[in-house]
Amino acid sequence: MKRERSRRRVPTLLIAALPLVLCSAALYLIGGVDLKFLAGFFRSLSRPPLTVTVPQGVAVAAWATGLTTPTSITFGPDGRMYVAELSGEVVALSDKDGDGRAEARQTFASGIPSPLGLAFRGNDLYVGRRGGVDVACDSDGDGAANEIKTLISNLPAGRHQTDGLAFGPDGRLYFSAGSRSDRGELPIDLMEASILVANADGTGLRVFASGTRNPYDLAFNPDTGDLFATDNGRDVPTTGVPDELNHIIDGGDYGWPQCWGQVAGDECRGTIGPAAEFQEHSSADGMVFYTGAMFPQWRNNAFVALYGANSRDPDIGRVVKRVELSQASDGSWSGAVKDFAAGFANPIDVTVGPDGALYVADFGSGIIYRFFAL
């Protein structure tokens, strides 16, 4: 009897898989979808259960669960963690009883279109959202924003949008704007694929650096004040285009759409190559410089979340990397990329808590993980 069931199961599985196979063939022949993409997609169908792995001397625990596609995390001046969700909410989480899990949750703001970046200035929360930047203010002190003001609007949005935010040592707001297309197949707007800067009140907006396809997040080196940003490389060509960590300077051109990596592609003259490269199509997203006391050996190292590929290939991204940065005598930067943690669904942002622990938001699982020393 077991053998008969086994013989029936084979054609049943083949029949069940047939629509996927036919659809994939059509995408390849008609739509030009790359075979590498399709292979990654099929590998994702047999992905094993998630188990987050950590380096020796580090422990990990789920600090918060049940979130809806978190996109950005930061701690506020009140000690709570603020989490942007793709649905348009910003929620505040806290571990009031100190048991290592966030049991208190409050909606801080809602109705914000696709919020992808968060940064505090005093008690005001700046939010990078589709088409601009908003400021959420809690003027009555009840823990929830009672006013959401539009600071900057009418920024380009398409394939990508306004992403991460950071206040510089000069007090100005620096934020990233992704490209509307993959490789410049649409007319390029002056403000897209760039790092923008403005005064805290939104005035004085200008392009600070250009040629960054989708600089999802940015952060200032706490030791030197230098600005760094992640960048997602082009989808086409499907091979040879790395994701990047760039040292951002005023007026710098980082190559998009024609140049990538260490002067690969075309029209690279005058462009600036990356300080560090990541696996192609891994989607280098959220980043933070470590400033806590819990891991003194990693102080001022950059931690970068690699979300993973559009194909959902389990072999691409889905990890957090640690980058040891060093500066040469000519002022240029280079980084040694090290493994930190793996086994996520889609890690998208990372931050340092007041306790010195590292926190990672997993977009795919809705979990915030806390990494702490043993």
What would the pLDDT profile of 271-330 be if each residue is shown by its tens digit? 999 999 999 999 999 999 999 999 999 999 999 999 999 888 999 999 999 999 999 999
Residue 335 within any structural domain of the chain: yes
Which amino acid is present at 186?
L
Query: What share of the chain has pLDDT > 70, as a percent?
Result: 87
Chain centroid, CA 119 distance in Å: 14
Q: What is the DSSP letter of 346?
A: -
- For the cut 70, the answer to whether the pLDDT of residue 188 exceeds it is yes
Q: In this predicted structure, which of 23-27, 192-196, 276-280, 322-326 has the lowest mean pLDDT?
A: 23-27
Residue 288 is predicted with a pLDDT of: 98
Residue 207 within any structural domain of the chain: yes
Residue 45 within any structural domain of the chain: no
Q: Could you tell me the residue range of the domain that residue 63 belongs to?
A: 54-373
Q: How many domains does the chain contain in total? A: 1
The span from the CA of 246 to the CA of 211, in Å, is: 11
- For the cut 50, the answer to whether the pLDDT of residue 56 exceeds it is yes
pLDDT tens readout for residues 97-139: 999 999 999 999 999 999 999 999 999 999 999 999 999 999 9
CB atoms within 10 A of CB 346: 21
Residue 164 near residue 215 (C-beta atoms within 8 A)? yes
- For the cut 70, the answer to whether the pLDDT of residue 7 exceeds it is no
Residue 271 is predicted with a pLDDT of: 97
Residue 205 near residue 198 (C-beta atoms within 8 A)? yes
**Angle, CA of 85, 90 and 95, to the nearest 5°:** 100
Contact residues for 327 (Cβ-Cβ < 8 A; gap 6+) = 224, 226, 333
Residue 36 within any structural domain of the chain: no
CATH number, domain of 330, equals 2.120.10.30
Residue 355 within any structural domain of the chain: yes
237 cis-preceded (ω within 30 degrees of 0): yes
Residue 263 is predicted with a pLDDT of: 83
Contact residues for 13 (Cβ-Cβ < 8 A; gap 6+) = none
- For the cut 70, the answer to whether the pLDDT of residue 42 exceeds it is no
- For the cut 60, the answer to whether the pLDDT of residue 23 exceeds it is no
- The reply to whether the predicted model has a pTM over 0.85 is yes
Residue 311 is predicted with a pLDDT of: 86
pLDDT band at 238 (very low <50, low <70, confident <90, very high): confident
